[in-house]
Amino acid sequence: MTRGEHGISREDISANALKVMYRLNGAGFESYLVGGCVRDILMGHEPKDFDVATNATPEQIKGLFKNCRLIGRRFRLAHIVFGREIIEVATFRGHHQESDEDENVPKAKVVAKRDSHGQLVRDNVFGSIEEDAERRDFTFNAMYYSVADFTVTDFANGLAAIEKREVELIGDPETRYREDPVRMLRAVRFAVKLGMRIEEKTAEPIKPLANLLQNIPPARLFEETLKLFLSGKGEVTFLMLHEYGLIEPLFPQLAPFLKDENSREMQFVRRVLANTDERINSNQRVTPAFLYAALLWYPVEEQSQHLQSESGLNAHDAFNIASGEVISRQTQRIMIPKRFSTVVRDIWILQQRLPKRFGRRAFQLLTHPKFRAGYDFLLVRGQVEGGDLLELAQWWTHFQHADNGKQKGMLNALRKSEGGAKGGPRKRKRKPAKRGPDA
């Protein structure tokens, strides 16, 4: 497509991305904007970042840019750093050998490798722009914009996919999913983000192959879940993941609670995600810890009750042990960094402490660094479950905004009602008086 046909202007492109392409071209290499940035500009969206593809090798790229760092083991990439903006530059990828045992290929030259599931675990194979286009995942991500002649080359009918509003894989879907199972998550993410549907052949293998996500490193899945749930469309994304059977391999402890679409567990997760979407779309701060606390809350409750009944542990000890066990199991699938898992446990512990409001406890809880997160969590639980839990959440809503005199009045009223049955003060046993020698 010529400039007149596609309408992309250099004004739509990051100045730093243009610098990178001009320098590569000036050194005798080819360079193109590629992937999501081209797709987004064509769809009238503002690109989040700009990626460049070139026939220069990572080492040649590094030789041209002092502000370059090479990253990646599965496939080497160059990051050109301009302050806070990073332009990612990838060498054209080529087709890999199907086996390390190919007698016609010297072992020293075989730099791609699959595991027993067909997943690519090493992929440093360089090739032509045509091969690179075939190696890309979705058709609308295989469009290349050249700053040399201002054309867009559409190798896989990506523009047609945009017009049909379909997410469509390049090549055989099962093979492509086996190469990289994260493509199943990307298909869902793009469908939600772009307001598209997943094309039939692309959608068909997802459920049968969903378990392959178990082979993805937990740290990578943490980054992918952030993209899924902190996009501003987390609730819709969650429902689509559930529809395609992708929640179970990500959150195996949560999945059994979601069999009933109208269950309190499903309603709770949806409400938390809807609230998160609202905050993100209002440019308010969110933390992954709150989201993970919600996704794992009911597994913690169930495990705590199980430990109490089976092991005879008291509620406090059972809850602490259950919290550790549930987080430990989850990190086998999705790594939750300690800076977040610590906050997750703080939120959960506050659910045990917030019902205990007598004496100085209520005032002490207000000063807890995670009080707000714990209260917000309690409020959503109350909205979903109702009853005493909702009354407790409403009490805390009024208490935290009341002046000191009114707060004391609320605590006095609480003592009188029901004799403080809900988390009331304990009666202290009076120590027997010491008996003197003449008693």
Contact (CB, 8 A) for 276 and 291: yes
Look at the block and give the residue holding tokens 């690519």: 120
Domains of the chain: 1-164 (3.30.460.10), 170-269+283-342 (1.10.3090.10), 354-419 (no CATH)
Look at the block and give the residue holding tokens 């190798």: 155
Could you give the angle at which helices 218-229 and 182-194 cross, rounded to 10 degrees?
10
- CA dist 183 and 135 (Å) reads 12
Question: Which of 2-6, 123-127, 388-392, 429-433 is predicted with the least confidence, judged by mean pLDDT?
Answer: 429-433
pLDDT grade, residue 111 (50/70/90)? very low
70, pLDDT greater than 60: yes
Question: Which of 186-200, 221-235, 355-369 is predicted with the least confidence, judged by mean pLDDT?
Answer: 355-369
Could you give the angle at which helices 264-281 and 234-243 cross, rounded to 10 degrees?
140
Largest separation between any pair of C-alpha atoms in the chain = 111
- CA dist 37 and 39 (Å) reads 5
- CA dist 326 and 306 (Å) reads 13
Render pLDDT for 311-343 as a digit per residue (tens, 0 to 9): 889 999 999 999 999 999 999 999 999 999 999
Q: Which of 51, 132, 154, 277 is catalytic?
A: 51
Question: Which of 98-112, 299-313, 410-424 is predicted with the least confidence, judged by mean pLDDT?
Answer: 98-112
- CA dist 355 and 382 (Å) reads 12
Please report which helix (H) or strand (E) contains residue 200, including its range: helix 200-203
- Residue 49 falls in the annotated catalytic set: yes
24, pLDDT greater than 80: yes
- CA dist 77 and 105 (Å) reads 25
Calculate the alpha carbon distances from 330 to 215, 252, 324 in Å: 14, 8, 10
422, pLDDT greater than 50: no
Average pLDDT over residues 373-381: 97
Please report which helix (H) or strand (E) contains residue 278, including its range: helix 264-281
Question: Which of 73-77, 81-85, 343-347 is predicted with the least confidence, judged by mean pLDDT?
Answer: 73-77
- Residue 424's pLDDT is what? 47
**Parallel/antiparallel/unpaired status of strands 51-54 and 31-34:** antiparallel
**Separation of first and last alpha carbons in the chain:** 108
Tokens of 205: 């293998």
- Residue 50's pLDDT is what? 96
170, pLDDT greater than 70: yes
242 contact partners, CB below 8 Å, separation of at least 6: 258
125, pLDDT greater than 60: yes
Render pLDDT for 201-217 as a digit per residue (tens, 0 to 9): 999 999 999 999 999 99
Three-state secondary structure call for residue 90: strand
Q: Which of 123, 132, 137, 277 is catalytic?
A: 137
Average pLDDT over residues 378-383: 97
Q: pTM for the complete prediction?
A: 0.84
Q: Which of 12, 49, 346, 376 is catalytic?
A: 49
Average pLDDT over residues 90-116: 55
25, pLDDT greater than 70: yes
- Residue 254's pLDDT is what? 97
- CA dist 363 and 101 (Å) reads 70
Please report which helix (H) or strand (E) contains residue 273, including its range: helix 264-281
pLDDT grade, residue 107 (50/70/90)? very low
Average pLDDT, the chain: 89
- Residue 96's pLDDT is what? 61
pLDDT grade, residue 381 (50/70/90)? very high
Question: Sign (positive/negative) of CA torsion 310, 267, 251, 172?
Answer: positive
437, pLDDT greater than 70: no
- CA dist 242 and 236 (Å) reads 10
120, pLDDT greater than 80: no
- Residue 149 falls in the annotated catalytic set: no
- Residue 277 falls in the annotated catalytic set: no
Contact (CB, 8 A) for 12 and 41: yes
Average pLDDT over residues 187-197: 97
Contact (CB, 8 A) for 230 and 286: yes
Q: Please give the DSSP secondary-structure letter assigned to residue 75.
A: S
Question: Which of 38-42, 242-246, 359-363 is predicted with the least confidence, judged by mean pLDDT?
Answer: 359-363
